[in-house]
Amino acid sequence: MNSYVRRNLRTVLTVLMVAGLLLPPAGVASAQGGFNLPHGFVQEMVVGGLMLPTSFAMAPDGRIFITEKAGRVRVFHNGELLSEPFIDITGEVNDAADRGLMGIAVHPNWPRQPYLYLAYVYDPPAAKSHNTGGARVSRVLRLSADPNNLNKAQDGSGVVIAGTNSTFENIGNPDQGDAVPFSCLDGNGQPVRDCIPTEGTAHTIDMLKFGPDGSLYVSVGDGIVNSKGNSRALDINSLAGKILRVNPMTGEGYSSNPFYDGDPNSNRSKVFALGMRNPFRFTIDPRNGQVIVGDVGNEKWEEINVGGPGANFGWPCYEGPYEAATYANCDAFRSGEWTVTHAVHSYPHTLEPQRGSAIGGDLYLGRSFPALYRGAYFYHDFNGGVLNFLTFNRDGSAVDNEFATNVPGIVQITAADDALYVLSVILGGIWRIRYVPGGNKPPTAAAAADPTGGKAPLDVSFSSRRSTDPENSIVAYLWDFGDGETSSAANPTHAYEENGVYAVVLTVTDSAGLTSSDTLEIAVGSEPPVARILAPGDGAKFRIGETVTFRGEGIDPDDGELAGRSLQWTGLLHHGEHIHYDALKAEGKSGSFALTDHGDNTYLEICLTATDSQGLKDQDCVDVKAKEVTYTFDTAPSGLSLTYAGSRYTTPFKVKTYVGAERVVEAPLTAGEGLTFDSWSDGGAAVHEITVADGDQLLIASYVEEDGAPAGEAASSAELDAAEVVTPAIEDGEPAAPEPAATPAPAATEATPAGSSGGEIVAELWKGVDGTTIEELTKSSQYRNAAPETVSLTRLELPRGGGNSYGARIRGYLIPPVSGEYRFWIAADDRGALSLSTDDDPANKIVIAYTPDWTAAGVYDRYPEQGTGPIKLEAGQRYYFEVLYKQGGQKDNLSVAWQIPGRERKVIDAEFLEPY
């Protein structure tokens, strides 16, 4: 794993583990880092200091109830996050990986009807002795508030209204997830009444929301990764993969529900919509009663779905714009018995910044936002860190628009009080986004210190250099050093004489009087510990199901060898572009777990965090991988279609999969013109499960003619060797994840770049230049002289591996191919700056984008300053540009991207550039 990814994930994990220490207190005016919002919009922190918050509900009396993943319900009341939770049900919540306390709702007649509703993965008492990652069940609990204290639940008031049969007896395999026997099935293999299965550690029970008519809607994922079981999302007698609509007092289905059968307690009587993989978040349009659902996709596509009663969104037969699987029950779509409600908007994971997890949001029906946003649907992509919005045409079709970038880890969006409220699981807080017409945006404080700990007396240098203000109008700084001393300098130095842990607060003020604060800690009298993972080694490989033993140590200069709760183990499950948090939780020097299967293209990152008695921390991480083999699939005759793990491909093709995993393969019973399935080379039935062997394998499905004669030959050895390696996702033969166009620009004639460089542009290099900033490059003695080295580039991206302590300049003329509004971005490690002139005169250039600190290669949305707003350019016009770059130490990278009107963002090719 490269150094940036390692650094970034360690930072994320640290934030997740100690969010309460790292986030500012409630009432701070802006979020750390700053969302990159459109002009006129401001962000304001509502509440911080939460530990893995997953959902929130706003009560009519102003209270906000917030769920924390482990099982606590926190209360924000009268501007304060109360220290005592409303209730703590951690003892009955299974929070392995993506499981936990996931949803909350407040009765709309609160406090007259003082009910709170919780959705969570249930850990029955009898399951405590079993693997926490094994199969479980889910349920919805109704609680009553104490009439004498609405901030506390009344003892003994809990009533299960959904999942009354979500019991240990109905758990299929409590020691192994995603494995048969499946949960919530009776002896005849039929769904058990009012039992919500959760085989896997993802796609669990999700969200609770009241409809305009007072009914309670519940979203439930398919609860499984195994392709053998996800078709239950289409079974109206199963509660998995559905949105349910129930009576909030009884849990019964309504007679107005689309599949009501006369029994309000039957499973089908509760179903409102079906055919979803992971409807993590949804909303209800009060104007027509339709649900708008963000359905988190598989390997390639994300969906926003809109539908009314009985809507079938098609999973697992459909994903994105394609038919994705060929299960037997998918025939009902082809025959016309069932009708699929296609996504109103879908997008591929290849869309930049790389997407991978659609978090459904809410409709903005207020009046204070500009007209463009009224009636728009806002949603988030968790992987891309972007907040987008859909506007709807009269025919119901949707147009996708970008709203904000640099918005990390949003897990809920709620429109209220003429604003948007967003909850970040990573940042541990709720922010409000509102529009201030012509208003001044608040600054963003960013405090840094060097060193952050050591023996007394300790001299510490503080820096506010990363603090920003949209109007560049920070006029005052105030440092509170935590020991009674303060400073108004921007970058002061302070001496600590006494041992202790000091909370240092930086407050910056802009010219309009708006403020922002940032907090950090200085530990005096102590040095941080050193964490070290002794086993497994980084990159170690295991079979699926094999026991992984982990060992580590934490050595502290003051406390000596650490043990027990001072050593915390956590894990991140990487699945394609997704990251699942909480994949491992343990404490102490050692432990073990069974490596479970989460599909192909996955690995586990485990981290050991050592914390000493002063609260100082260190972390070490390693990657744990499944042993990988290659399976090649073909047909005889070659060129027919087969289905692997729910996705269909044209043969021959290859897959990378894991030893010990179970996968379902399917050969259609008929194919081509008059061909009939005859046999698999492994002797299996047309549809059968394979257990992946320890070694590369070739599997061939053979077909015969009508007279029983072999239909043809499989591919040659050379053709098999050259077969494409695929990732299960969409039907082969369709375009491989075509990227949807951005909002169309006005029609324009594309110009040929006149006098272009013919495909190359020159970068000037200066070696041996100390420092990391652009200013240190331009003021250096080397820069005053002609560059001793140059390198030719085919696009605005420096080759990596150029060493340390050097600078670069790339300059020339940019020649746009079409007229319209362009956007630009820059990424660099350590610093980069992009300047553009209004014409071909270098004297008119201004800096339009820069990196205030290092970024990973190609990561354009870490800081708002990296990107520009729309810049109008004319086709064929020459515009002088200049890129300055400074590399200090560690890894280097520099790239500049643009977005041509109507196209996707990409690095600027030299065909659009002319040398200076």
Tell me the two tokens of residue 66: 């917030």
| pLDDT for residue 23 is more than 90 | no
Taking the model in full, what pTM does it have?
Answer: 0.64
- The pLDDT of residue 38: 87
Task: Tell me how far the alpha carbon of residue 330 is from its chain's centroid.
Answer: 30
Q: What is the DSSP code string of 213-241?
A: TS-EEEEE------TTTGGGGG-TTS-TT
| pLDDT for residue 439 is more than 70 | no
> What's the mean pLDDT when you consider all of the chain?
88
> In this predicted model, what pLDDT tens digit does every residue of 865-903 receive, in sequence order?
888 888 889 988 999 999 999 998 877 899 999 999 877
Task: Tell me how far the alpha carbon of residue 127 is from its chain's centroid.
Answer: 30
Cis amide linkage into residue 470, ω under 30° from 0: no
| pLDDT for residue 1 is more than 50 | no
Task: Tell me how far the alpha carbon of residue 553 is from its chain's centroid.
Answer: 31
| Range from 36-45, 575-584, 761-770 that averages highest in pLDDT | 761-770
- The pLDDT of residue 205: 97
Q: Yes or no: say if 387 and 410 are a contact pair by the CB < 8 Å rule.
A: yes
| pLDDT for residue 624 is more than 90 | yes
- The pLDDT of residue 904: 79
- The pLDDT of residue 578: 62
| pLDDT for residue 637 is more than 50 | yes
Measured distance CA(77)–CA(452) in Å, rounded: 34
CA 29, 375, 339, 644 dihedral sign is negative
Percent of the chain with pLDDT over 70: 91
State which amino acid sits at residue 375. G
Domains of the chain, first to last:
51-282 (2.120.10.30), 349-439 (no CATH), 441-626 (2.60.40.10), 628-726 (2.60.40), 761-915 (2.60.120.1560)
Residue that wins the pLDDT comparison between 237 and 299: 237
Neighbours of 299 (CB within 10 A): 23
Rounded to an integer, the average pLDDT of 717-725 is 91
- The pLDDT of residue 76: 97
Q: Yes or no: say if 872 and 835 are a contact pair by the CB < 8 Å rule.
A: no
Measured distance CA(244)–CA(195) in Å, rounded: 13
- The pLDDT of residue 141: 98
pLDDT band with cut points at 50, 70 and 90 for residue 24: very low
pLDDT band with cut points at 50, 70 and 90 for residue 555: very high
What are the phi and psi torsion angles at 601 (to 5°)?
A: 65, 50
pLDDT band with cut points at 50, 70 and 90 for residue 863: confident
State which amino acid sits at residue 202. A
Rounded to an integer, the average pLDDT of 201-208 is 95
> In this predicted model, what pLDDT tens digit does every residue of 592-606 receive, in sequence order?
988 888 778 889 999
| pLDDT for residue 90 is more than 50 | yes
Rounded to an integer, the average pLDDT of 503-512 is 91
Measured distance CA(672)–CA(680) in Å, rounded: 17
- The pLDDT of residue 673: 78
Measured distance CA(49)–CA(599) in Å, rounded: 34
Q: Which of 216-220, 441-445, 474-478 has the lowest mean pLDDT?
A: 441-445
| pLDDT for residue 543 is more than 70 | yes
